[in-house]
Copies of this chain bind each other. A is one copy, B any other.
Amino acid sequence: MTTSAPRTARARARAELTAEIKAVARRHVAASGAADLSLRAVARDLGMVSSAVYRYFPSRDDLLTALIVDAYNAVGEAAETAEAAVRRTDLLRRWLVAARAVRSWAQDNPQEYALIFGSPIPGYQAPQDTVDPATRIPLLLLTIIGEAVAPPDDLVLPRPVSRDLARLRDQVAPSMSEPRLARAVMAWTHLIGSISFELFGHLVGSIDDYSAWFDLQMKELGRGLGLTSTSR
């Protein structure tokens, strides 16, 4: 992320201040949401004047972009470390633990979650920097799913879907069958959909014990993916 150790004292100070600004901004976002993020308020918290912040981030959106990249990496790392602690052969549990880690992170950082999986900020175009960190979780899920022995899948794919999935397969999971990849993308969609439903309050009053409900869903998805409790 940072390019090793900065040489000069000035570069060092710059790197530190940049990180400090991001940290304060992250606190502000966590407290009151991305829409309310104010460069002036961040500057005030750091005891400097608003215009000085523009030396480090050319615009408010650039600050937000930095936060988005960090958020993607944070949730990606959370899922990766949690999943890494599970016995490799227990594919179902690896999937479940990864999914739970994403949900946990989202609950601990709801505003940052909204930043990356909520409505896009209007007039804000996600730069290329964000796409790489954004793929960490999907890639992790594909890794798990790819290790399963694939039972035959009766999912029939119409031509256009097959074409898209074939291309995607060649990019990220060369040995995976298309129906299986389809179910993987569906599981990924459902995972984020379910967390969003919970966080955005679309099931308040309907589901009280969302942890149990979430686990049930993830297990059912894992079952559909052919993930076994102890493969081999």
A residues whose Cβ falls under 8 Å from a Cβ of B: 32-36, 111, 114-115, 117-123, 126, 131, 134, 155, 157-158, 160-161, 163-164, 168, 182, 185-186, 189-190, 192-194, 196-197, 200-203, 205-209, 212-213, 215-217, 220
Taken together, the copies of this chain in the complex come to 2
Q: Which residues of B have CB within 8 Å of A213?
A: 160-161, 164
Extra A-B contacts (4), CB below 8 Å, given A115-B119, A155-B220, A158-B215: A117-B202, A120-B201, A164-B213, A196-B196
Q: From A117, A155, A215, name the one whose CB has the most chain B CB atoms within 10 angstroms.
A: A117
Closest 4 pairs between A and B when the two form their complex, measured CB to CB? A193-B193, A33-B122, A118-B119, A114-B119
| B168/A206 in contact, CB under 8 A | yes
In the complex formed, the residue of B with least CB distance to A32 is: B122
Complex formed: what's the CA distance from A49 to B50 in Å?
31
Residue in B123, B161, B193, B200 whose beta carbon sits within 8 Å of that of A119 in the complex? B200
A72 to chain B, nearest CB (A): 11
Complex formed: what's the CA distance from A230 to B131 in Å?
43
Complex formed: what's the CA distance from A197 to B158 in Å?
20
Q: Which residues of B have CB within 8 Å of A215?
A: 158
A-B residue pairs in contact (CB < 8 Å), sample of 17: A34-B122, A35-B122, A114-B119, A114-B120, A118-B119, A118-B200, A161-B212, A161-B213, A164-B207, A164-B213, A168-B207, A185-B206, A189-B190, A189-B193, A190-B190, A190-B193, A193-B194
In the complex formed, the residue of B with least CB distance to A193 is: B193
In the complex formed, the residue of B with least CB distance to A162 is: B212
Q: Which residues of B have CB within 8 Å of A161?
A: 209, 212-213, 216
| B192/A123 in contact, CB under 8 A | no
A12 to chain B, nearest CB (A): 35
- Beyond A123-B32, A164-B209, A206-B168, is A192–B186 a contact (Cβ under 8 Å)? no
| B212/A202 in contact, CB under 8 A | no
Residue in B126, B164, B200 whose beta carbon sits within 8 Å of that of A201 in the complex? B126
Q: Which residues of B have CB within 8 Å of A220?
A: 155, 186
- Beyond A121-B35, A158-B216, is A202–B192 a contact (Cβ under 8 Å)? yes
